[in-house]
Amino acid sequence: TDVTVNQRVRAALNEGLTVILCVGEYLEQREQGITAELVAMQVKIALDGVSKEELKRIIIAYEPVWAIGTGQTESTFAKSLRKTIAELYCENCANAITIQYGGSMNAKNADELLSQPDVDGGLIGGASLKAPDFAAIVTAASKL
């Protein structure tokens, strides 16, 4: 649940770890047009009790469930995430936080996704197991 995610975030931060916070929606939620609200709520609950200083040890990965393994992607997510962080903390915090894309980034779409102004990197799944594909993603990321 979102509450247990917050508990895990708090536990990891308390132990000095860097957190990769994954947020995202199911296809049904996307089709209902509630992605921005749902992901904002996930972020707000997950970061409850997290200070500005602790926020520096958090990476947010947008991982839409509907995109995993499908090759489909969403490229407008990062701006919405930064807006949520700005509302919770500050504009500088929003600009400083690392936002990654995790929904099926691969060799074919890495250039497009990583060229988005608010995307700082990728959370690579299956493509990391294929050396040529992973090399293409690394090449795309090196342009950042």
| pLDDT level of residue 12 (50, 70, 90 thresholds) | very high
How much is the pLDDT for 103?
Answer: 75
- Give the type of residue at 76: T
How much is the pLDDT for 143?
Answer: 84
**pTM of the entire predicted model:** 0.91
Q: What are phi and psi of 62, to 5 degrees?
A: -85, 115
pLDDT digits 0-9 by tens, 48-76: 999 999 999 999 999 988 887 776 778 77
Q: What is the number of helices (H) and of strands (E) in the chain?
A: 8, 4
State the pairing for strand pair 121-122/98-101.
parallel
